[in-house]
């Protein structure tokens, strides 16, 4: 006999015609559909952004397959088990971060990779999942909202890996991991008073942050404030991506017809700056369609968080969903010139395997929270 969800009526989006196959696979149909649409869209754009290189598309497709496989696997794990694994996963992640700093490979001027002999692995990716898991584990131990010591504990378990990652240095991932901890805390009911206090403290810390930054990071911020000051250097990315987007207009130059992208004026066009390719070729209309898909996925994630059966599931699901949003916002904000350039890909659209696997693993956890709402029977 299959396991039947007990509390079907609690979820307003619950579809009584939901395929029992998906239910058996512990997959959430709306979320799955949203992700599939997004990935299909991403592959189409990638085909254009990579100058119609089927090789890139195929490699991306293979990664997507692996990532979906991982999602499917994680969806089978009962949240209670996830909860019990949380401290271990977190500890392993932090240890590996330390190992990276000590023994890691240097790539593009930063130490991010750990060579395990059979594969190269970026431990900071694991922390994008481990931090919300750990924060959720901490917060769920007592009824929400969390007490101040618990909040401080959550802050510590977030900031330790963030600082380790920032030291590599990998500002983009550090921001995402910090966002994961903060999002989990926010969903977990961090009091508004504390939020305000943290906001004020952060504003006060900004000058210190400035002095803590590396030269190239400072340069990025300066360039962000005034891209025209260095049009052929650091400002080039920003200027060219804005030209690409702006020249796309409402309906774009047409798929495969973006001159900025195809003539290589746009740097990183199939990775971090792929959003500009969409803006150029598909115009505002195409971007709004993409944002709608993102919004739907985020909405579905928040619904799953709100309807989770326990505090751990709620905080974890909410945190993961909001990290996904931070990906979208930081990337699009950077490409349109609202935010400084940091290395954050457009989730599930940018070419590249690492972040995709992490993201889909995160959705696997969301699916697990969604479908296992019954207490685990040991």
Partner 1 sequence: MLLDSSLEDRRRERHLVAVRAATAGVLVLLALLLVVVRLMRLQVDQHEYFSVLSRDNRVKVQAVPPTRGLIYDAQGVLLADNHPSFSLEITVEKVEDLAGTIEALSAIIPVDAKDLARFERLKRQRVRYQGVPLRLNLTPEEVARFSVDSHRFPGVDVRAELIRTYPQGALTAHVLGYVGRINAEEMTRIDASDYAGTHFIGKGGVEKAHEGALHGHVGYQQVEVNARGRVLRTLEGKAPVAGRDLHLFLDLDLQQAASDALGDNRGAVVAIDPRTGGVLALVSKPSFDPNPFVEGITQSDYHALLYSPDKPLFDRAVRGQYPPGSTVKPFVGLAGLASGVVDARKAKFCPGYYQLPGQSHRYRCWRRGGHGTVALEQAVVQSCYVYFYDLAHSMGIDRLQGFLKELGFGARTGIDVAGELGGLVPSREWKERARKQPWYPGETLIVGIGQGAFLATPLQLAVATATLANRGHFIQPRVARSTQVPGSPDSTELPAVSHPVEVGDPHHWDQVIHAMTEVVEGERGTAKRIQTKAYRIAGKTGTAQVFTVGQKESYNAARLDKRMHDHALFIAFAPVEDPRIAVAVVVENGGHGGSVAAPVARQLMDARLGGSRLLAKEGSGRGD
Element (H, E) at 121: strand 120-121
Q: Residues 6, 360, 74, 122: what is their CA dihedral angle, to the nearest 10 degrees?
A: -150
Q: 26, 270, 314, 372: which one contacts partner 1 (CB under 8 A)? A: 314
Q: 85, 121, 255, 265: which one contacts partner 1 (CB under 8 A)? A: 265
Q: What is the DSSP letter of 214?
A: -
Please report whether residue 121 would count as binding partner 1 according to CB under 8 A. Answer: no
The stretch among 112-120, 130-138, 213-221, 308-316 that binds partner 1 (CB under 8 A) is 308-316
Q: Which residues contact 338 (CB under 8 A, 6 or more apart)?
A: 332
Please report whether residue 198 would count as binding partner 1 according to CB under 8 A. Answer: no
Q: Which residue number, 130 or 328, has a Cβ lying nearer to partner 1?
A: 328
Please report whether residue 137 would count as binding partner 1 according to CB under 8 A. Answer: no
Q: Which positions from 12 to 51 touch partner 1 by CB under 8 A, shown as an x/- string?
A: ----------------------------------------
Place of tokens 């802050």: 155
Please report whether residue 298 would count as binding partner 1 according to CB under 8 A. Answer: yes
Q: Residues 38, 39, 44, 47: what is their CA dihedral angle, to the nearest 10 degrees?
A: 140
CA 378 to chain CA centroid, nearest Å: 33
* Nearest alpha-carbon partner for 324 in 347, 343, 303: 347
Q: How far is the CB of 200 from partner 1 (least distance, A)?
A: 18
Please report whether residue 227 would count as binding partner 1 according to CB under 8 A. Answer: no
Please report whether residue 259 would count as binding partner 1 according to CB under 8 A. Answer: yes
Instruction: Say if residues 217 and 228 touch (Cβ distance below 8 Å).
Output: no
* Nearest alpha-carbon partner for 281 in 261, 253, 251, 262: 253
The number of beta carbons lying within 10 Å of the beta carbon of residue 288 is: 12
Q: How far is the CB of 70 from partner 1 (least distance, A)?
A: 25
Task: Give me Rg for the CA atoms of the chain.
Answer: 21
Query: Two tokens at 183?
Result: 């999002």
Q: How many residues bind partner 1 (CB under 8 A)?
A: 53
The span from the first CA to the last CA of the chain, in angstroms, equals 17
Angstrom distance (rounded) from CA 151 to CA 147: 6
The stretch among 83-91, 198-206, 213-221, 278-286 that binds partner 1 (CB under 8 A) is 278-286
The stretch among 61-69, 89-97, 261-269, 360-368 that binds partner 1 (CB under 8 A) is 261-269
Q: Which residue number, 121 or 329, has a Cβ lying nearer to partner 1?
A: 329
Please report whether residue 344 would count as binding partner 1 according to CB under 8 A. Answer: no
Please report whether residue 189 would count as binding partner 1 according to CB under 8 A. Answer: yes
Angstrom distance (rounded) from CA 371 to CA 378: 17
Angstrom distance (rounded) from CA 82 to CA 97: 21
The stretch among 156-164, 170-178, 184-192, 354-362 that binds partner 1 (CB under 8 A) is 184-192
Q: How far is the CB of 105 from partner 1 (least distance, A)?
A: 24
Question: Which residues bind to partner 1, rule: CB under 8 A?
Answer: 143-145, 183, 186-189, 240, 242-250, 259-260, 263-266, 279, 283-284, 287-288, 291, 294-295, 298-299, 302-303, 305-306, 308, 311, 314-315, 318, 321-322, 325, 328-329, 332-333, 336-338
């Amino acid at each position: 006999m299959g396991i039947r969800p007990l509390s079907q009526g609690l979820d307003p989006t619950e579809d009584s015609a939901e395929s029992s196959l998906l239910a058996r696979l512990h997959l959430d149909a709306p979320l799955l559909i949203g992700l599939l649409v997004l990935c299909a869209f991403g592959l189409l754009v990638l085909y254009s952004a990579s100058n119609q290189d089927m090789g890139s598309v195929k490699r991306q497709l293979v990664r997507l397959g692996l990532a979906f496989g991982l999602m499917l696997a994680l969806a089978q794990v009962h949240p209670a088990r996830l909860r019990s694994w949380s401290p271990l996963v977190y500890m392993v992640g932090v240890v590996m971060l330390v190992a990276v700093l000590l023994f890691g490979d240097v790539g593009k001027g930063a130490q991010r990779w750990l060579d395990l002999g059979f594969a190269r692995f970026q431990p900071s990716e694991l922390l994008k999942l481990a931090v919300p898991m750990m924060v959720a584990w901490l917060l769920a131990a007592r009824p929400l909202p969390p007490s101040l010591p618990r909040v401080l504990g959550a802050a510590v378990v977030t900031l330790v890996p963030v600082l380790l990652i920032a030291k590599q240095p990998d500002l983009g991932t550090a921001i995402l991991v910090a966002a994961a901890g903060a999002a989990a805390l926010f969903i977990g009911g961090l009091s508004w008073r504390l939020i305000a206090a943290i906001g004020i403290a952060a504003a006060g810390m900004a000058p210190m942050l400035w002095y803590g930054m590396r030269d190239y990071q400072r340069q990025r911020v300066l360039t962000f404030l005034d891209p025209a000051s260095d049009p052929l250097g650091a400002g080039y990315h920003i200027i060219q991506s804005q030209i690409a987007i702006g020249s796309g207009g409402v309906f774009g130059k047409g798929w495969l017809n973006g001159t900025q992208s195809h003539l290589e004026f746009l740097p990183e066009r199939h990775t971090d700056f792929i959003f500009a390719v969409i803006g150029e070729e598909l115009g505002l209309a195409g971007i709004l369609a993409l944002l709608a898909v993102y919004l739907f996925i985020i909405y579905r994630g928040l619904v799953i968080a709100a309807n989770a059966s326990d505090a751990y599931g709620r905080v974890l699901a909410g945190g993961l969903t909001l990290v996904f949003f931070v990906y979208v916002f930081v990337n699009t904000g950077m490409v349109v010139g609202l935010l400084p350039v940091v290395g954050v890909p457009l989730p599930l659209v940018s070419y590249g395997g690492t972040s995709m696997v992490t993201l889909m693993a995160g959705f696997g956890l969301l699916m697990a929270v969604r479908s296992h709402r019954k207490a685990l029977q040991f």
